[in-house]
Structure 1
Amino acid sequence: MAVSHGSLPFQEQIDYFRGKTDIPTRAWTDIYNVEHDWAFVVAGATKRDLLSDMRGAVEKAISQGLTLEQFRKDFDQVVGRHGWQYNGGRGWRSRVIYETNLRQSYNAGRETQMADPELRKRRPYGVYRHGDSAHPRAEHLFWDGTTLPLDDPWWATHTPQNGWGCKCKKFMASQRDVDRMGLKVGPAPAVEYEDRTIGVNSPNGPRVVRVPKGIDPGFDFAPGQSRLNAAVPPLRAHDPLPDPGARASSVQGAGLPNRRAPGALPAAREMPANRLLPTGLTDSEYAGRFLAEFGATEAAPVVFKDVTGDAVVIGRELFTNAKTGALKIRKRGHARELLLLADAIKDPDEVWVRLEWLYSRNKAVVRRRYISRYQIDGEPVPALSVFEVGDDGWDGVTTFSPESNDPDYLEQLRIGVRLYRRPQIDKK
């Protein structure tokens, strides 16, 4: 199986695999479903040194594009070095370890690529294609050619690989691709669930799981999706952005030098009144309008590359309660200005970065701050929109307060190292 994208290394696949943690297990059911996004396991490998060496052999196969026979040489060396007594024959066991890890890391890497909002604009559909399995499943053959928007909930459980030995794939497609292939978008195939018993031979005993028909237990998830969801920065609980009128000393960071930029912020840009959302929407509607600005949905986050090339993962979790998972937008009182916050991320006036030491937690964090001002039609003063994101989450300020346009307050926000300034266009 190829592990390269064109002539370039498939870095997203490699990064996904390297992000796993070695977890000793006695049976394959010890780690289940999305837990495989985070854990490298080999059923029956209970010793960490054995697991570490086997992981190295798999990573070598992924990063260097080794064939199964080449991997088997490393597999034999690891087995011999540790005297590992594994279940099943050599050919079957080495194939399962090789193919499952390579295919699922490949699929996870492709899912990361598909989360790019610009790519999704051009190719918004996913097409299910059956592989060349020796013993094809009837359901997988039936799903062949299924074409759905990439954010359709069906993909959450039916994104390949969908079982042991499954070689099905999901491809991105534009409307032109769909027309050329003679496909039709939707509806999603009906999903019928069934109870399956797993772990009959596990030391922990059997248990019953519920999975869609046609999908093996443990494969009913989109590879890498849980990692993408986890990468969405949560709303920061501590160290909020300063309110207009705050003292300068209360917002100074430590670490990167606080270089104040010459000149004022670029002039406020004119914006139509419809950039303010209507009142009375639900939290879900407000979130949907914000996410749509980036090509994301509540079900599918995206990786947005800003004007400096840095990535921000945009998803529902930006606005959720960390404990309950419920949306909390209207309680913050700035729901109507959410599109202005999106504008600040997509097309900022300036981007600043600074290293700040958090004395309360004895750690340093790097934070990027996006600053923009807009003159909204019908509003007496410009709106200030600020989005700041770091390892500890994000915080934002969007306000029409007159104090927010005070030069002293704006200078408090322009600290650290400036990475970007929006070019000014002279009007003649």
Structure 2
Amino acid sequence: KGSIQPGLRGHPSLGFPAGDDRVRKEHRALDGVILGCDDPLWKKIYPPNGWKCRCRVAPLMRHEAAGVDPGEMRRRVSEYFDTAEWKAASAQGWDTNRSETAQVFTKDQQYIRKFPGKAAKSLLQLYPQDYGLESLNKRIAASVTPRPVYAGAADSWYDAHQVLEDYMGRRVSLRRKVFNFHTTGAHSYRVPYLDCVTEALKDPDEVWLNNYSKGTGEFTNLNFIKFYDDSAVNVVCEIKEGRVYEVKTWFEICTGPKGGSRSKASRLKDPRWKYRRGLLIKKS
């Protein structure tokens, strides 16, 4: 994170983001905003302004801000307040100046449950649009990654992949019983997807925490979703008692049905929604 440099009292201050390709477009729009250090807008936009925000504030002497149009600067901040990024950040408690409050967490600050317009919404009823993500079909259409097709013997693949690794470097086991069930008989159609398993774990486009396998209130499943130019593949892992971390299944996500209701009940059955729900852990 960038350092926070407080402005000098009575002099304007300059807010700016980190300057690399990871800066959010909404924060980049604030680059170069100059406001007086006593401007009340700093009570809301003094960084950090969201998770992993690396924006900084640097002091300027009054003569360094000569010619600055205060109205234009405030207009830019006002436009930022109209963005979905700001609405999400403010709902989750980022709309404060912690250098003034000297308080990082407040008693009513609930990061997970507070989404704009959905403060009381259950995590299991949060879907891609709640995180600003495109639909399943749009994400597939936008992908340029070719899907790898494994053409070798299933046993040969397993001998080299009994223990896998996810994008955080965590070890993921793949039990022989689970592997055999998914690669023999009526389920042998999953063999060509074996290399997708390693790709999805190591470089997922989305990771969702939900209750896919049991349908209970327990969050024990991680869905590692990888989007290819012709499909989306989901590798479902399970965490048992906070210790065992293993692959449970893998499959290509069906892109239909296209019609029908969008009620809560139908979404739990519709493959376009069923796996992409809950707590979004990672997105690309």
Q: Shorter chain as normaliser: what TM range? A: 0.3 to 0.5
- TM-score of the two chains, using structure 2 as the length reference: 0.39
Q: Considering only CA atoms, is the larger Rg found in Structure 1 or Structure 2?
A: 1
- TM-score of the two chains, using structure 1 as the length reference: 0.27
